[in-house]
Amino acid sequence: MPTVYLIRHAQASFGKSDYDRLSPMGERQAALLGKTLVARGVSPAVVVSGSMRRHAQTAALAGFAPEIDRGFDEFDHEEIIVAHKPAYFQEMFTAATERWVRGGDGYTESFADFCERSEAAIRRTAERLGKGETAVVFTSGGPIAAVVSRLLSGGDDLWPSLNPVTINTAITKVVSGRSDLTVVSYNEHAHLDGTELLSYR
């Protein structure tokens, strides 16, 4: 059965002027992820990533050279925060994303369009796979949550609960069966157990 592994990027440089690069801990996470995929015997026929630097760096440090599919890009969190404008980050981020999800004005990409783009990207990737082949996708928590929400519920209602709990370098497994795509596991991160490398940002 064709399989797509959706991998959230390793820890980026949260709080720095250039967020879109891996932190030193993120570099260690990505290297450990690569060893984990090799140990599991993952030998992908297709390797894809979003266009962000953190996606490419995670892939490279894990030992892969992906092709780019912008369908796997994260939503523009900076635009969403600027459109909301309060003071404390976590409260601000939660309130800002809630406004975006509810269909607030002032965004280049609506929440519905973002979820549609994310679903289209995984379907495009899965369609490229032959029987028994595997794809590895390096992306962000937002697109993964969008895909999982749609595959589990048929809509976007689960996204606000799924997105905040995605772990850096966590693996989500989706299989392509006769009728449709099916989520087999979400946010799996056993490779981080017993380490000091578990992070959500």
Structure confidence at residue 104 (pLDDT): 73
Residue 50 has pLDDT above 90, yes or no: yes
Tell me, what DSSP letter sits at residue 38? Answer: H
Q: Would you list the DSSP string of 140-177?
A: -HHHHHHHHHHHHHSSSTTHHHHGGGPPTT-EEEEEE-
**Helical packing angle, 53-61 and 24-39, nearest 10°:** 50
Structure confidence at residue 157 (pLDDT): 94
More confident residue, 64 or 94: 64
Residue 79 — pLDDT band, cuts 50, 70, 90?
very low
Q: Do β-strands 46-49 and 134-139 pair in parallel, antiparallel, or remain unpaired?
A: parallel
The alpha carbon torsion through 128, 134, 135, 141 (nearest 10 deg) reads 130
Structure confidence at residue 102 (pLDDT): 79
Please report which residue ranges of the chain form alpha helices under DSSP H.
Answer: 24-39, 53-61, 77-82, 89-101, 111-127, 141-153, 159-162
Residue 71 — pLDDT band, cuts 50, 70, 90?
very high
CB atoms within 10 A of CB 148: 24
Question: Could you say which of 3.40.50.261, 3.40.50.1240, 2.120.10.10, 3.40.640.10 is the CATH number of the domain covering 3-190?
Answer: 3.40.50.1240
Residue 138: phi and psi, rounded to 5, are: -100, 115
Structure confidence at residue 82 (pLDDT): 47
Question: Which helix H or strand E contains 5, and what residues bound it?
Answer: strand 3-8
Q: Do β-strands 181-188 and 171-176 pair in parallel, antiparallel, or remain unpaired?
A: antiparallel
Residue 131 has pLDDT above 80, yes or no: yes
Do residues 10 and 30 lie in contact, with contact meaning Cβ atoms separated by under 8 Å? yes
If you average pLDDT over residues 129-157, what whole number do you get? 97
